[in-house]
């Protein structure tokens, strides 16, 4: 078992890797608000446990084990945030602190239950992707609002600063993940950004704008190849299994029946409620509806 | 479990395979009538053995429970796997459904990894043919490196060749080639690391490397063995390593299936077909949310008609001839011997266990119908369409089948619950099964409602059935909500291809189930019948003066709440031997002859309608009969669950009886 402080480090490195940034002793010291020597000391400990590779010039990478731990922590954090907002009526500026405490007290079993309970959610309230079980993924490509080419529509993808104060400020500016902002210009004097949302114009200071990650807004913003629950497939529609969850026994049974990731399945019967029948590897398999939701598939477009 | 190898001339063959591969048919073709059905030691898993003699070679077969993989996901799979690994059969024959080769080769792949003497039985070639699949057994043989024997077991084709192959492999005439290692480098690396964490001298009853892979696959049984063998600290390390790599199973199973898919593609030729196969057309109706339920209910109705239309007359004849006839013959033959002895034989033995036996024809029809539907491949469809309804009471579609059997007799319902995989769902099924209104109870309901309610008899009977089913639903719901919370079982089930039934298999299954019932009647049921006989014959030899009568009288205050006097209570108590005993007991106590007509009039004279309604309700919900109790004990392997079932049926039956009586009295039926 590793302690909470080590977990904080792993999480911080994991988050940098998600963003495609190189974690270093100095960047860690900055993001965790600690001194460089204590970072070095901790990195040595983590490296001895086989969780990180500490390279020259202070560069740090997670090992495979480190990645698993980090992704699990990040996953718990974001699941809790999502849970608190959705079911306990917290506002998005209150949940980061709470989740920081809860993530360390969360067992793998609880994590799985949370994940399957919230399986329709892909991101936390701040727009960060909730990792799947397999591990860390590179975050959806996005740039800070300050670097967005003007003019044009920008969709807010995620918010980097999750402190309560900062988020309250965004609430006042009516900026949250998913919102489309019309970028109007960047001030040449102080770097502040002028955006228009819902017909109102706002000035966003540079310090704030650089924490808001955006993407060029497209007309359609749901990618066609995103995995959906098996229950979404209509009869005769074909999909490819992307991943399975729902407990060890269930996963093992599905695998033994041939539902391995990458396998093509065809929906035979799905009447919108009740159990369904799929055809996989030349065999017909009946699945309960709840069970089928644990199988995520990519639609095959014909 | 099995006789140890006597000489080189007795070959021990384990028959493995997934469910629905025609494995039982292969087993039947091989062993014929030499089969024996028993239980795996310490488990409620059926064990079938049989032999085949050819020249001076004796093949001794063990039919392993159907399993999809060597990972123990159910007690059946665990038994099968442990037998293969720990009992060292001389050769393992794995039966494969040729019409669904890809799914079936997974188990073969796992067996190959174990490096055992193996023969692959490529069964149901004819079904594959019908589905437009042409297979090349030679190509499969060279791909797998072990003998492959194509068979059509339903017609006995390929069985002699199979015996040849078994003999050749067992005597080492054919050596298996090195099996293909379909493990990826990543998995190999994980296995190495796990290997380093476990002391090399650790003794476990499995091949070490194989066990390590199974650990990574998350096999709970192997994890249990390891946990016991390792120190607490050692296990903690292994456990957290496994937790960290719990996705390894995806990789391992994925790699196997990749190899399987390649192999299967290489040996299968798909023929173009114009028309939709019959099975698929049938499924359009049989798995339809509405049509499927109607079709299923139609089949249920047909089975009931056969049971009661054809079986009941035979049962009546048997009752006259076997029970009453032989009791009379006995009485005349034993003239002069003490009355007690005659009574012991005629009332205790023949009237108790003998009466239960008269139900064999009805049961045989039921078992036959079920075996037929099972062999056709229909049962899985029934479970599928019924899952929607069963889900509401916390059970899954699979539990419907055994519960449905309970309409005939609760005993097969309880014995049939074995098909339910998860322990919690199986226990729930067993515990609520005695609430199914069995034929024995319906006889009593029919008699009473006809005697008291004339034209409304059908309505009263129907209400009684409804009350029972409602209580059943409530109990199942309570158990799943409170006792087995969070243990919900997953509904994942293969729908096998339909195929023409094999009469031999159907009849064999029917015969074995009937036999099990007869054995139960001859042992546990007979013993309890004798005890109840003793209670009803001593100290005074009339039932009124017996211990049972005294107990009944002492319980009268409770009975009064339901409007029941002591005679009715005694009748209820004797229903423990067999539900229909109620009638016979009342006949004796009320001093009528054995004819129903006399009893009818007698009853209406001694009882008010309110009490009659209460009585049949209580008798419908009362403690299960001795045969059911014996079956519950056998299937749960637990006195606690057996006791619980007796306790809750007693409590509920009295509660419902009191309510009904009091309400009926208020409605003015009390006179």
Whether residues A181 and A209 share a domain: the answer is yes
**Mean pLDDT throughout A167-184?**
85
Contact by Cβ (8 Å): B52, B59: yes
Give tens-digit pLDDT for A266-290: 999 998 888 899 999 988 999 988 8
pLDDT of B301 reads 78
Which of these ranges, B411-420, B473-482, B535-544, has the smallest mean pLDDT? B535-544
- Select the residue of B218, B245, B288 nearest A248 (Cβ to Cβ): B218
More confident position, A236 or B44: A236
On the question of pLDDT at B546 being above 50, the answer is yes
CB atoms within 10 A of CB B481: 10
What ipTM does this complex have?
Answer: 0.79
Whether residues A190 and A80 share a domain: the answer is no
Whether residues A81 and A172 share a domain: the answer is no
User: Among residues A81, A107, A138, which one ends one of the domains?
Assistant: A138
Nearest alpha carbon to residue B644 among B419, B483, B451 = B483
Q: How many CB pairs under 8 A join A and B?
A: 126
pTM of the model: 0.68
| Topology of the domain covering B10-170 | Rossmann fold (3.40.50)
Which of these ranges, B406-410, B628-632, B657-661, has the smallest mean pLDDT? B406-410
Contact by Cβ (8 Å): A215, A141: yes
pLDDT of B84 reads 92
The residue of chain A with its CA nearest to that of B257 is A258
CA distances from A208 to A129, A176, A193 (A): 21, 13, 9
- Which of B80-84, B501-505, B549-553 is most confident? B80-84
Best CATH choice for the domain B185-270 from the list 3.40.50.1820, 1.10.287.1770, 3.50.40.10, 3.40.190.10: 1.10.287.1770
pLDDT of B4 reads 37
| Structure tokens belonging to residue B101 | 């080769």
More confident position, A32 or B93: B93
- Select the residue of A69, A134, A291 nearest B490 (Cβ to Cβ): A291
Q: CA-CA distance, B486 to B503, in Å (whole number)?
A: 42
Whether residues A192 and A256 share a domain: the answer is no
pLDDT of A219 reads 47
- Which of B44-53, B169-178, B640-649 is most confident? B640-649
- Select the residue of A268, A284, A287 nearest B491 (Cβ to Cβ): A287
Measured in angstroms, the CA of B255 and the nearest CA of chain A are apart by: 9
Write down the mean pLDDT value for chain B. Answer: 84
pLDDT of B181 reads 57
DSSP state of B562: T
Measured in angstroms, the CA of B59 and the nearest CA of chain A are apart by: 31
Q: Which residues, numbered 229 to 258 in chain B, qualify as contacts with chain A under a Cβ-Cβ cut-off of 8 Å?
A: 240, 243-247, 249-250, 253-254, 257
Range of the domain at A235: 228-299
Nearest alpha carbon to residue B103 among B497, B518, B642 = B497
Give tens-digit pLDDT for A108-157: 889 888 888 888 788 899 989 888 876 777 777 888 888 887 677 888 98
- Select the residue of B103, B218, B289 nearest A258 (Cβ to Cβ): B103
**Which pLDDT band, with edges at 50, 70 and 90, does B595 fall under?**
very low
pLDDT of A2 reads 75
Across the interface, whether the CB atoms of B495 and A247 are under 8 A apart is answered no
- Structural domain total, chain A: 3
Proportion of chain B above pLDDT 90, given as a percent:
24
Whether residues A242 and A208 share a domain: the answer is no
Peptide bond just before B584 cis, omega within 30 deg: no
What number of helices (H) and strands (E) belong to chain B?
A: 34, 10
Measured in angstroms, the CA of B419 and the nearest CA of chain A are apart by: 16
- Select the residue of A262, A271, A284 nearest B254 (Cβ to Cβ): A262
The residue of chain B with its CA nearest to that of A253 is B73
pLDDT of B2 reads 36
On the question of pLDDT at B560 being above 80, the answer is yes
pLDDT of B5 reads 40
Measured in angstroms, the CA of A284 and the nearest CA of chain B are apart by: 5
Look at residue A244 and tell me if it is in a domain.
yes
Look at residue A222 and tell me if it is in a domain.
no
pLDDT of B137 reads 93
Measured in angstroms, the CA of A84 and the nearest CA of chain B are apart by: 22
**Mean pLDDT throughout B541-566?**
84
The residue of chain A with its CA nearest to that of B214 is A252
Q: CA-CA distance, B448 to B617, in Å (whole number)?
A: 11
- Per-residue b or e along A77-116, where b marks 16 or more CB atoms closer than 10 Å to that residue's CB: bbbbbbbbbeeeebebbbbbebbbebbeebeeeebbebbe
The residue of chain A with its CA nearest to that of B20 is A283
Across the interface, whether the CB atoms of A253 and B383 are under 8 A apart is answered no
Task: Collect all residues of chain B within an 8 Å Cβ-Cβ radius of residue A244.
Answer: 250
- Write the DSSP assignment of B608-636 as a string of letters: -HHHHHHHHHHHHHS---HHHHHHHHHHH
Across the interface, whether the CB atoms of B73 and A256 are under 8 A apart is answered yes
Helix (H) or strand (E) holding B268: strand B268-270
Proportion of chain A above pLDDT 70, given as a percent:
95
Measured in angstroms, the CA of B26 and the nearest CA of chain A are apart by: 21
Determine contact: B391 vs chain A, CB below 8 A: yes
Which of these ranges, A243-257, B174-188, B376-390, has the smallest mean pLDDT? B174-188
On the question of pLDDT at A69 being above 60, the answer is yes
* Chain A contact probe: residue of B248, B490, B497 with most A CBs at under 10 A: B490
Sheet strands (E) in chain A: 23-24, 52-54, 59-62, 143-144, 152-159, 180-186, 193-197, 200-204, 212-216, 228-229, 238-244, 264-269, 276-280, 283-287, 295-299
Across the interface, whether the CB atoms of A281 and B103 are under 8 A apart is answered yes
Task: Collect all residues of chain B within an 8 Å Cβ-Cβ radius of residue A250.
Answer: 490, 492
Q: CA-CA distance, A234 to A248, in Å (whole number)?
A: 27
On the question of pLDDT at B588 being above 60, the answer is yes
**Which pLDDT band, with edges at 50, 70 and 90, does B43 fall under?**
low
Look at residue A25 and tell me if it is in a domain.
yes
Q: CA-CA distance, B378 to B283, in Å (whole number)?
A: 10
- Which of B147-156, B183-192, B243-252 is most confident? B147-156
The residue of chain B with its CA nearest to that of A109 is B243
Write down the mean pLDDT value for chain A. Answer: 85
| Structure tokens belonging to residue B452 | 């008291």
User: Helix, strand or coil for residue B547?
Assistant: helix
Whether residues A50 and A89 share a domain: the answer is yes
Measured in angstroms, the CA of B635 and the nearest CA of chain A are apart by: 23
On the question of pLDDT at B594 being above 50, the answer is no
Domain locations along chain B: 10-170, 185-270, 291-434+493-529
On the question of pLDDT at B441 being above 90, the answer is no
Determine contact: B184 vs chain A, CB below 8 A: no
**Which pLDDT band, with edges at 50, 70 and 90, does B418 fall under?**
confident
Measured in angstroms, the CA of A294 and the nearest CA of chain B are apart by: 11
Look at residue A81 and tell me if it is in a domain.
yes
- Which of A33-47, B91-105, B394-408 is most confident? B91-105
Nearest alpha carbon to residue B106 among B299, B258, B312 = B258
On the question of pLDDT at B1 being above 60, the answer is no
- Select the residue of A249, A262, A274 nearest B388 (Cβ to Cβ): A274
| Structure tokens belonging to residue B146 | 């072990």
Look at residue A223 and tell me if it is in a domain.
no
Determine contact: B486 vs chain A, CB below 8 A: no
Across the interface, whether the CB atoms of B250 and A244 are under 8 A apart is answered yes
Look at residue A91 and tell me if it is in a domain.
yes
Residue B368: which residues within 8 A CB-CB, separation 6 or more? Answer: B506, B507, B510
Task: Collect all residues of chain B within an 8 Å Cβ-Cβ radius of residue A271.
Answer: 289
Look at residue A241 and tell me if it is in a domain.
yes
Whether residues A260 and A165 share a domain: the answer is no
Look at residue A88 and tell me if it is in a domain.
yes
CA distances from A141 to A22, A62, A214, B664 (A): 16, 21, 9, 74
User: Among residues A164, A188, A216, which one ends one of the domains?
Assistant: A216
Helix (H) or strand (E) holding B494: strand B492-495
**Mean pLDDT throughout B25-44?**
79
The residue of chain A with its CA nearest to that of B377 is A284
pLDDT of B41 reads 67
Here the CATH number for the domain that contains residue A259 is 2.30.30.90
More confident position, A135 or B471: B471
More confident position, A90 or B300: A90
More confident position, A192 or B260: B260
On the question of pLDDT at A84 being above 80, the answer is yes
């Amino acid at each position: 078992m590793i302690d909470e402080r080590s977990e904080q480090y792993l999480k911080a490195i994991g988050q940098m890797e998600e963003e495609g940034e190189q974690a270093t002793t100095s960047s860690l010291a900055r993001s965790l608000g600690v001194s460089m020597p204590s970072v070095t000391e901790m990195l040595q400990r983590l490296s001895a446990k086989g969780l990180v590779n500490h390279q020259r010039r202070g560069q740090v990478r997670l090992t495979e084990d480190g990645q698993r731990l980090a992704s699990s922590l990040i996953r718990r954090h974001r699941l809790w945030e999502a849970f608190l907002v959705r079911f306990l009526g917290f506002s998005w500026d209150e949940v980061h602190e709470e989740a920081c405490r809860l993530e360390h007290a969360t067992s793998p079993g609880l994590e799985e239950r949370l994940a399957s309970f919230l399986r329709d959610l892909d991101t936390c309230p701040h727009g960060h992707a909730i990792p799947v079980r397999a591990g860390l993924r590179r975050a959806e490509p996005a740039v800070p609002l300050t670097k967005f080419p003007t003019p044009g529509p920008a969709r807010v993808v995620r918010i980097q600063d999750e402190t309560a104060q900062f988020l309250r400020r965004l609430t006042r500016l009516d900026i949250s993940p998913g919102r489309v902002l019309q970028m109007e210009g960047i001030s040449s004097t102080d770097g502040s950004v002028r955006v228009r949302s819902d017909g109102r114009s706002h000035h966003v200071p540079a310090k704030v704008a650089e924490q808001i990650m955006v993407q060029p807004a497209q007309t359609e913003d749901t990618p066609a190849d995103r995995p959906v629950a098996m229950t979404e497939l209509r009869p005769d529609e074909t999909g490819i299994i992307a991943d399975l969850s729902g407990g060890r026994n269930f996963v093992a049974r599905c695998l033994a029946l041939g539902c391995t990731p990458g396998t093509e399945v065809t929906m035979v019967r799905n009447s919108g409620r009740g159990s369904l029948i799929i055809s996989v590897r030349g065999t017909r398999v009946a699945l309960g509806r709840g069970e089928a939701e644990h199988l995520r598939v990519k639609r095959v477009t014909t | 479990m099995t006789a140890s190898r006597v000489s080189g001339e007795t070959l021990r063959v384990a028959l493995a395979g997934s469910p629905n591969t025609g494995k039982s048919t292969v087993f039947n073709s091989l062993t014929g009538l030499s089969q024996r059905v028993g239980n795996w030691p310490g488990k409620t898993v059926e064990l079938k053995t049989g032999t085949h003699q050819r020249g001076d070679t004796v093949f001794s077969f063990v039919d392993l429970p159907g399993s999809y993989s060597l990972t123990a996901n159910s007690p059946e799979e665990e038994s099968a796997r442990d037998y293969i690994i720990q009992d060292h059969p001389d050769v393992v024959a794995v039966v494969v459904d040729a019409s669904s080769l890809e799914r079936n080769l997974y188990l073969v792949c796992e067996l190959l990894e174990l490096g055992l003497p193996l023969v692959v039985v490529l069964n149901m070639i004819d079904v594959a043919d019908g589905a437009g699949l042409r297979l090349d057994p030679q190509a499969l043989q060279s791909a797998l490196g072990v003998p492959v024997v194509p068979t059509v077991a339903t017609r006995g084709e390929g069985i002699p060749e199979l015996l040849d192959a078994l003999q050749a492999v067992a005597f080492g005439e054919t050596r298996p080639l090195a099996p293909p290692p379909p493990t990826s480098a990543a998995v190999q690396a994980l296995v190495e690391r796990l290997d380093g964490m476990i002391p090399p001298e650790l003794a476990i009853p499995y091949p070490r490397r194989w066990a390590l892979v199974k650990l990574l696959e998350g096999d709970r049984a192997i994890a249990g063995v390891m946990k016991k063998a390792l120190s607490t600290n050692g296990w903690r390390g292994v456990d957290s390593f496994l937790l960290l790599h719990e996705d390894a199973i995806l990789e391992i199973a994925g790699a196997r299936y990749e190899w399987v898919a390649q192999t299967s593609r290489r040996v299968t030729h798909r023929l173009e077909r114009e028309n939709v196969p019959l099975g698929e057309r049938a499924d359009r109706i049989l798995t339809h949310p509405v049509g499927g339920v109607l079709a299923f209910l139609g089949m249920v109705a047909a089975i009931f008609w056969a049971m009661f239309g054809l079986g009941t007359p035979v049962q009546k004849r048997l009752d006259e001839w076997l029970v009453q006839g032989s009791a009379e013959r006995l009485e005349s033959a034993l003239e002069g011997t003490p009355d007690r002895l005659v009574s012991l034989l005629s009332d205790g033995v023949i009237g108790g266990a003998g009466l239960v036996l008269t139900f064999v024809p009805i049961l045989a029809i039921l078992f036959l119908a079920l075996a037929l539907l099972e062999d056709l491949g229909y049962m899985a469809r029934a479970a599928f369409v019924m899952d929607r309804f069963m889900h509401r009471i916390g059970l899954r579609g699979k539990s419907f089948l055994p519960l449905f059997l309970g309409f005939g007799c609760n005993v097969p319902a309880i014995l049939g619950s074995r098909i339910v995989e998860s322990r919690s769902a199986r226990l729930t099924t067993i515990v609520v099964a005695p609430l199914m209104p069995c034929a024995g109870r319906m006889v009593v309901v029919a008699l009473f409602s006809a005697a008291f309610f004339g034209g409304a008899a059908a309505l009263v009977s129907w209400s009684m059935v409804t009350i029972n089913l409602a209580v059943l639903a409530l109990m199942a719901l309570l158990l799943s909500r409170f006792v087995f919370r969070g243990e919900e079982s997953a509904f994942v089930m293969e729908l096998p291809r339909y195929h023409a039934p094999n009469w031999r298999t159907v009849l064999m299954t029917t015969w074995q189930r009937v036999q099990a019932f007869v054995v139960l009647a001859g042992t546990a049921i007979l013993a309890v019948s004798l005890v109840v006989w003793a209670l009803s014959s001593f100290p005074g030899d009339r039932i009124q003066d017996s211990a049972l009568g005294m107990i009944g009288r002492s319980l009268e205050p409770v009975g009064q709440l339901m409007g029941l006097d002591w005679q009715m209570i005694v009748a209820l108590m004797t229903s423990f031997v067999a539900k229909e005993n109620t009638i016979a007991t009342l006949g004796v106590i009320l001093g009528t002859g054995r004819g129903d007509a006399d009893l009818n009039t007698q009853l209406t004279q001694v009882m008010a309608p309110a009490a009659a309604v209460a009585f049949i309700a209580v008798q419908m919900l009362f403690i299960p009969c001795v045969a059911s109790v014996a079956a519950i004990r056998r299937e749960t392997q637990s006195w606690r669950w057996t006791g619980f079932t007796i306790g809750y049926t007693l409590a509920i039956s009295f509660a419902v009886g009191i309510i009904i009586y009091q309400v009926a009295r208020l409605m003015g039926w009390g006179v």
